[in-house]
Chain A
């Protein structure tokens, strides 16, 4: 694995290796001194063209736990807001000697471009590109599900809501499918992307029909900031048909867990009661995010500095 751009690039063994490594990380960081010396002297750049506090903080913490140096480049208050192109930024980071670049960009494919255009020799980690992919989120979701449900082979996972704008949904579907889970996506027809029928999952428009058999249910955030038209009549209407409230939660099997990638719109896709219930593993997801990102950084940067050095 040279870069982490898309979950569709990962085979089952690679996914399991990342999740197993994350599990060992949890034991290594579950103690007084949480820092490991592994990436001492390596530089990780967080390059965020889109705002994201939690993902950036999670990557920053993960890199620091592994003793890497971290530089944050964010859109506000930097040359990125002065119109510098992705290429010029990349060349700048290359000149500074970045070993890994964690990139978030509003354009789908930005991470791929950065990794393959020949601008940088650093490892590239996609932290969300447009409505395309967000692989570490899918990995941390799978990690969280695995820690509660065990092997995901044959498990039923339901992803609900704004599938159209959700890179989390796309990444999750591919990853969970590779792990053998049966995935369904549920949402209003207006929020289903073109070509969703090609995804390795079932598509449904009826949430109540899906909850009874679900082992895990992920409520996607309604991404109002990406919505240029009205996709549904009103918040109330959306919440009634596709929101997770206490009544629907009670219809879930006993062991089923509720996930949300955050940040939540309480009252929209999930009620406060559900978000704060015992079924909800949303806070756990945040902690697992750090472990999974540590695993990814270790697997990308922990070995040879670059493949050319391989003898």
Chain B
């Protein structure tokens, strides 16, 4: 837990999984898949999970808006619902911003950057319970790295990446990190 954040130098331990162009194509494809699965943009609400799910949700909403109709987009912070709160010092909260339309009887698409244990998604589902009752919930992630702890699967995936537990996937986005890139890091020791 106490590993210092490693600078993203190009050591042999760093592998680029997705370039900016790859990310853009994945977002475009997922936006079409969402429309196809739901037969249009009607009744859709996109909720990004902070931090990097939020810019991804916004990008998906922009693509969907360009192709069909504008969809409400917001953010859903799951910090207060996490099951590992007691394992770490208290964290600051990220914004929760539910669109005015609410989620009742809507199709909510949760958006996150990396799907790993599935615990964040579980927390998000619990948090959604307190906000309203969507008619259905779907999950879109940029990277699925496997190793689920829970019976959760994504509906839309940018890229499936087989990983081992001692690796970590870093998604960097222009909005939060200044550039678009997904890299795989090997943790030491």
Which A residues lie within 8 Å of B77 (CB)?
24
Which B residues lie within 8 Å of A301 (CB)?
90
A304→B81 contact, CB < 8 A: no
A303→B93 contact, CB < 8 A: no
A300→B90 contact, CB < 8 A: yes
A304→B97 contact, CB < 8 A: no
B80→A20 contact, CB < 8 A: no
| Residues from 66 to 100 in B contacting A, C-beta threshold 8 Å | 77, 80-81, 85-98
Q: Which of B1, B86, B88, B92 interacts with A20 by CB under 8 Å?
A: B92
A37 touches B (CB below 8 Å) = yes
Nearest CB on B from A163, distance (A): 34
The segment from A26-34, A235-243, A272-280 found at the interface with B is: A26-34
A311 touches B (CB below 8 Å) = yes
Closest residue to A300 on the B side, CB-wise? B90
Q: Which of A27, A36, A300 interacts with B97 by CB under 8 Å?
A: A27
B93→A24 contact, CB < 8 A: yes
Which B residues lie within 8 Å of A15 (CB)?
none
B131→A31 contact, CB < 8 A: yes
Nearest CB on B from A154, distance (A): 25
Closest residue to A295 on the B side, CB-wise? B93
| Given A304-B88, A304-B89, A36:B81 Cβ within 8 A | yes
Closest residue to B89 on the A side, CB-wise? A303
Which A residues lie within 8 Å of B94 (CB)?
24
Closest residue to A311 on the B side, CB-wise? B1
Contact with B along A294-311 (1 / 0, CB 8 A): 000011111111000011
B85→A303 contact, CB < 8 A: yes
The A/B interface has a contact count, at CB < 8 Å, of 58
Which B residues lie within 8 Å of A302 (CB)?
80, 85, 90-91
Which B residues lie within 8 Å of A227 (CB)?
none
Q: Please report the C-alpha to C-alpha distance between residue A300 and residue B131 in the assembled complex, in whole angstroms.
A: 26
Q: Please report the C-alpha to C-alpha distance between residue A27 and residue B98 in the assembled complex, in whole angstroms.
A: 9
B126→A37 contact, CB < 8 A: yes
B89→A310 contact, CB < 8 A: yes
Which B residues lie within 8 Å of A248 (CB)?
none
B85→A21 contact, CB < 8 A: no
Which B residues lie within 8 Å of A310 (CB)?
89
Q: Please report the C-alpha to C-alpha distance between residue A37 and residue B97 in the assembled complex, in whole angstroms.
A: 19
Contact with A along B1-15 (1 / 0, CB 8 A): 110000000000000
B88→A38 contact, CB < 8 A: no
B188 touches A (CB below 8 Å) = no
B96→A304 contact, CB < 8 A: no
B130 touches A (CB below 8 Å) = yes
A35 touches B (CB below 8 Å) = yes
B92→A21 contact, CB < 8 A: yes
B93→A36 contact, CB < 8 A: no
Nearest CB on A from B85, distance (A): 6
Nearest CB on A from B12, distance (A): 29
A246 touches B (CB below 8 Å) = no
| Residues from 136 to 168 in B contacting A, C-beta threshold 8 Å | none
Q: Please report the C-alpha to C-alpha distance between residue A21 and residue B132 in the assembled complex, in whole angstroms.
A: 23
Q: Please report the C-alpha to C-alpha distance between residue A21 and residue B95 in the assembled complex, in whole angstroms.
A: 9
Residue among B80, B94, B126 facing the most chain A CB atoms (10 A cut-off) = B80
Which A residues lie within 8 Å of B86 (CB)?
303-305
| Given A27-B96, A303-B86, A305-B86, A298:B80 Cβ within 8 A | yes
| Given A24-B94, A27-B96, A298-B80, A36:B130 Cβ within 8 A | yes
Q: Give chain B's interface residues, CB within 8 Å of chain A.
A: 1-2, 77, 80-81, 85-98, 126, 129-132
Nearest first, the 10 closest Cβ-Cβ pairs linking A and B are A303-B90, A24-B93, A302-B90, A303-B89, A33-B130, A38-B80, A36-B80, A299-B90, A27-B96, A21-B93
Cross-chain pairs A/B with CB under 8 angstroms, 18 sampled: A20-B92, A20-B93, A21-B92, A24-B77, A24-B95, A27-B97, A28-B96, A31-B130, A36-B80, A298-B80, A298-B90, A301-B90, A302-B91, A303-B85, A303-B88, A303-B89, A303-B91, A304-B88
Taking A27-B97, A33-B131 as given, write out 11 further A-B residue pairs in contact, using a Cβ cutoff of 8 Å, ordered by the A residue number.
Answer: A28-B96, A32-B132, A33-B129, A36-B130, A38-B85, A300-B90, A302-B91, A303-B88, A303-B89, A304-B87, A310-B89
